[in-house]
Amino acid sequence: MDKVDTFKDLGVQFDSKLTFDGHIHEKINKAYSMLGIIKRSFIYVDKSTFILLYRAMVRPHIEYAHSVWNPFLKGNIENIEKVQKRATKLVISLKHLTYKERLETTHVKI
């Protein structure tokens, strides 16, 4: 039997140290690509449309099996948080608000 450094089971990428860095990186990239699709497809995104699109297209990638790979390193948490920061900036009417105010307005949970 060959030794492998990483393997994927049910969509979760495991590594030999169980850090899930590769999995987190993969999910963040997928979430950013979904944000890109939203940005290219919609010229103006109002708050209600944004919430629907975010919950349907972006959030599932970030949350899939999170109980298994729950990030505990500050760097990983910040990288996941950057996805939400960029996502909430898509709502033109909320761009002038701070990140925390955008989250409260859109009811997107941290």
E strands within the chain? 6-9, 12-15
Residues 6+ apart with CB under 8 A from 54: 38, 87, 106, 108
Is position 50 within any domain? yes
Is position 52 within any domain? yes
d(CA 63, CA 24): 10
Q: Which two tokens stand for residue 22?
A: 């590769």
Contact criterion met (CB below 8 Å) for 11 and 64 = yes
Is position 1 within any domain? no
The total domain count for the chain is: 1
Distances 20 to 39, 64, 67, 83, 92 between C-alpha atoms, Å: 28, 13, 12, 18, 34
- From first to last of the 110 residues of the chain, give the pLDDT tens digit: 788 788 888 888 888 887 888 888 899 999 999 999 999 998 888 888 988 999 999 999 888 877 777 778 888 889 988 998 999 888 888 888 998 898 888 876 54
Domain span at residue 12? 6-106
